[in-house]
Amino acid sequence: MRLLAISQAQYKVAAVVDEQGNKLTCPVYEFFESIEKQYQGSADGLLALIESIAKDGTQGLNPKLCHLVDKENKIYELIKGDLRLFFFKGHCDLIVIATHGIIKKTQHTKTSDKNRAISYKKHYQKEHDKKCIEILGELP
Protein backbone atom coordinates (compact mmCIF):
# COMPACT_ATOMS: atom_id res chain seq x y z
CA MET A 1 0.00 0.00 0.00
CA ARG A 2 1.22 3.45 -0.83
CA LEU A 3 0.63 6.55 1.23
CA LEU A 4 1.38 10.15 0.33
CA ALA A 5 3.12 12.24 3.00
CA ILE A 6 1.08 15.38 3.68
CA SER A 7 2.96 16.78 6.64
CA GLN A 8 5.81 15.68 8.84
CA ALA A 9 7.27 17.02 12.07
CA GLN A 10 7.29 15.00 15.29
CA TYR A 11 4.63 12.82 13.67
CA LYS A 12 3.81 11.91 10.08
CA VAL A 13 0.47 12.65 8.49
CA ALA A 14 -0.16 10.74 5.29
CA ALA A 15 -3.00 10.11 2.87
CA VAL A 16 -4.12 6.98 1.09
CA VAL A 17 -3.01 6.50 -2.53
CA ASP A 18 -5.22 4.56 -4.94
CA GLU A 19 -3.69 2.59 -7.78
CA GLN A 20 -5.79 2.63 -10.93
CA GLY A 21 -3.87 0.66 -13.52
CA ASN A 22 -0.57 2.48 -13.99
CA LYS A 23 -1.94 5.70 -12.49
CA LEU A 24 -1.65 6.70 -8.83
CA THR A 25 -4.27 9.02 -7.36
CA CYS A 26 -4.78 10.45 -3.90
CA PRO A 27 -8.41 11.08 -2.87
CA VAL A 28 -7.32 13.64 -0.25
CA TYR A 29 -5.15 15.55 -2.74
CA GLU A 30 -7.99 15.50 -5.28
CA PHE A 31 -10.41 16.71 -2.60
CA PHE A 32 -8.26 19.76 -1.80
CA GLU A 33 -7.64 20.45 -5.50
CA SER A 34 -11.38 20.46 -6.27
CA ILE A 35 -12.49 22.73 -3.40
CA GLU A 36 -14.76 25.54 -4.57
CA LYS A 37 -13.75 29.10 -3.75
CA GLN A 38 -16.44 29.45 -1.07
CA TYR A 39 -14.80 26.63 0.93
CA GLN A 40 -11.18 27.77 0.53
CA GLY A 41 -11.01 29.27 4.04
CA SER A 42 -12.19 25.96 5.55
CA ALA A 43 -9.72 24.04 3.36
CA ASP A 44 -6.89 26.27 4.58
CA GLY A 45 -8.07 25.62 8.14
CA LEU A 46 -7.99 21.85 7.57
CA LEU A 47 -4.45 22.09 6.21
CA ALA A 48 -3.41 24.15 9.26
CA LEU A 49 -4.99 21.49 11.48
CA ILE A 50 -2.98 18.80 9.69
CA GLU A 51 0.21 20.80 10.29
CA SER A 52 -0.70 21.11 13.97
CA ILE A 53 -1.30 17.35 14.25
CA ALA A 54 2.08 16.63 12.64
CA LYS A 55 3.69 18.85 15.25
CA ASP A 56 1.71 18.00 18.41
CA GLY A 57 -0.31 14.84 17.69
CA THR A 58 -4.05 14.38 18.13
CA GLN A 59 -4.12 14.58 21.93
CA GLY A 60 -5.98 17.57 23.20
CA LEU A 61 -7.72 18.39 19.92
CA ASN A 62 -10.96 20.24 20.46
CA PRO A 63 -13.96 17.92 19.83
CA LYS A 64 -15.32 20.65 17.54
CA LEU A 65 -12.33 20.03 15.25
CA CYS A 66 -11.95 16.25 15.52
CA HIS A 67 -14.22 13.46 16.62
CA LEU A 68 -14.89 9.76 16.36
CA VAL A 69 -17.46 8.81 13.70
CA ASP A 70 -17.14 5.02 13.98
CA LYS A 71 -16.28 3.74 17.46
CA GLU A 72 -15.89 0.07 16.49
CA ASN A 73 -13.38 0.77 13.71
CA LYS A 74 -11.88 3.92 15.22
CA ILE A 75 -12.58 6.17 12.25
CA TYR A 76 -12.34 9.90 12.93
CA GLU A 77 -13.07 13.09 11.05
CA LEU A 78 -11.31 16.42 11.09
CA ILE A 79 -13.80 19.27 10.91
CA LYS A 80 -13.49 22.77 9.52
CA GLY A 81 -16.67 24.54 8.50
CA ASP A 82 -18.62 22.21 6.19
CA LEU A 83 -15.49 20.24 5.25
CA ARG A 84 -14.68 16.84 6.72
CA LEU A 85 -11.52 14.79 6.32
CA PHE A 86 -11.80 11.16 7.37
CA PHE A 87 -8.84 9.41 8.97
CA PHE A 88 -7.62 6.62 11.17
CA LYS A 89 -4.53 6.35 13.30
CA GLY A 90 -1.56 4.41 12.03
CA HIS A 91 1.36 2.76 13.78
CA CYS A 92 4.37 4.34 15.53
CA ASP A 93 4.99 7.89 14.33
CA LEU A 94 2.53 7.58 11.42
CA ILE A 95 -0.23 9.16 13.42
CA VAL A 96 -2.92 10.00 10.89
CA ILE A 97 -3.82 8.34 7.64
CA ALA A 98 -6.35 10.45 5.78
CA THR A 99 -8.71 8.55 3.52
CA HIS A 100 -10.90 11.13 1.80
CA GLY A 101 -12.74 14.41 2.29
CA ILE A 102 -16.30 15.57 1.81
CA ILE A 103 -18.46 18.65 2.02
CA LYS A 104 -20.94 17.77 4.75
CA LYS A 105 -24.37 19.35 4.45
CA THR A 106 -26.24 17.44 7.19
CA GLN A 107 -25.72 16.41 10.81
CA HIS A 108 -25.28 12.72 10.02
CA THR A 109 -22.24 11.08 8.45
CA LYS A 110 -23.17 8.90 5.49
CA THR A 111 -22.61 5.18 5.96
CA SER A 112 -20.87 5.08 2.57
CA ASP A 113 -18.24 7.57 3.81
CA LYS A 114 -17.65 5.55 6.97
CA ASN A 115 -17.43 2.33 4.96
CA ARG A 116 -14.92 3.86 2.56
CA ALA A 117 -12.65 4.85 5.46
CA ILE A 118 -13.10 1.43 7.11
CA SER A 119 -12.13 -0.31 3.87
CA TYR A 120 -8.94 1.74 3.60
CA LYS A 121 -8.10 1.02 7.24
CA LYS A 122 -8.54 -2.74 6.80
CA HIS A 123 -6.34 -2.65 3.71
CA TYR A 124 -3.73 -0.61 5.60
CA GLN A 125 -3.71 -3.09 8.49
CA LYS A 126 -3.20 -6.07 6.16
CA GLU A 127 -0.39 -4.32 4.30
CA HIS A 128 1.20 -3.11 7.55
CA ASP A 129 1.21 -6.67 8.90
CA LYS A 130 3.00 -7.80 5.70
CA LYS A 131 5.38 -4.80 6.02
CA CYS A 132 4.24 -3.51 2.63
CA ILE A 133 3.67 0.18 3.40
CA GLU A 134 5.49 2.71 1.23
CA ILE A 135 5.31 6.42 2.01
CA LEU A 136 5.74 8.66 -1.03
CA GLY A 137 6.99 12.23 -0.86
CA GLU A 138 4.94 13.07 -3.95
CA LEU A 139 2.88 11.33 -6.59
CA PRO A 140 4.99 10.11 -9.53
Task: Write out pLDDT tens, residues 75-96.
Answer: 999 999 999 999 999 988 777 8
pLDDT for residue 77: 94
CATH of the domain at 27: 3.30.2310.20
| pLDDT tier, 139 (very low <50, low <70, confident <90, very high otherwise) | confident
Tell me what the mean pLDDT of segment 102-111 comes to: 86
Q: What are phi and psi of 97, to 5 degrees?
A: -120, 105
CB 83 within 8 A of CB 101: yes
Give the β-pairing of 134-136 and 2-8: parallel
d(CA 109, CA 124): 22
SS3 70: strand
Number of domains in the chain: 1
pLDDT, tens digit (0-9, with 9 covering 90-100), for 22-78:
899 999 999 999 999 999 999 999 999 999 999 998 887 898 999 999 999 999 999
CB 104 within 8 A of CB 119: no
Q: Which domain holds residue 37?
A: 2-136
pTM of the entire predicted model: 0.91
